[in-house]
Structure 1
Amino acid sequence: KGKSHQTSSPSTKAALSSPSGSSVPRGALGTIGRLMKLGRVRNIVVVAGAGISTASGIPDFRTPGTGLYANLAKYDIPYPEAIFNIDYFSDNPHPFFSLAKELYPGHHRPNYVHYFIRMLHQKGLLLRMYTQNIDGLEKLCGIPDDKLVEAHGSFATAACHLCYTPYPAEEAK
């Protein structure tokens, strides 16, 4: 239909190279795949959140009806975010520990998104992965520590929030 057969569109080039952190336009993944095959993409930085683990059965936070925040009534907390509030935790740690036990790794497996990111690493294209997730699925699928930044920590480590004494993850479990 008169469309150009260019390797990439100007908007895709801008999104791929933009230092401002622009996201890739919808529908550009095919173009990115072609650019990868041509060897024109390298030093990929992945920034991930809860959405990549939903296909593994882990809820995101805000989806109405199914998100984590929508299902916290059983913990009798004043507002959904209180479960992660350090002041609330200091007064009442039980809701947090109950939720952490439910979410503890071992029940979920990495999905196609995690394995795609691992493939980027295996092909030497992954510069770094920043994740907000604490589920450990990135490590489980094989993203090495030197490529992974777990912005909110993970279940792999634990420490006292008052004195910062580290504890083995198994003991915290």
Structure 2
Amino acid sequence: MSIRHSLLALLQDRPRYGYQLRTEFEDRTGSSWPLNIGQVYTTLDRLERDGLVQKDGGDGDGHIIYSITDAGRAEAQAWFQSPVGRANPPRNELAIKLALALTLPAVDVGGLIQAQRAVSMRALQEYTKSRREAAVHPRPADTARLLVLDSLIFQTEAEVRWLDLCEARLMQLAGPA
């Protein structure tokens, strides 16, 4: 996830200070990816250094307001126009954990799969409940949240199916009972 580009995108609406950006990001993504406020301000400092945002002074309450520059608008637009690359897939901690577990004799791989499946199923239930609640009285801003929740639901469903496949392969390795 690109915090850099997300902040630029949010600043296209209007100038904001860091905490407002953090809140707006979490609201628009259904609070699926909480941002550390320190990360927001560090990113804003880098964006300012790179000429993509500028400080507009304070708001009178001690907050520094940031606005996007023309170069920042161009970068945000380029980000929206570019597909997300698939050349370097993100690291999947679960896949790495299972791959390593299979190579070590003292690890209960079946137990690991069962524990992860339970966590994934709980997450799937929570995402589905949140999606149902968000869909009851949809507002335009909720559409973004629904899209994020749909993505999380599909990813979690795929993870559960993958865990089922892993378990089936383990059973194949074990041979006839």
TM-score after normalising by structure 2: 0.28
Higher relative contact order at CA 8 Å, sep ≥6: structure 1 or structure 2? 2
Structure with greater strand share of residues: 1
Rg bigger for which structure?
A: 2
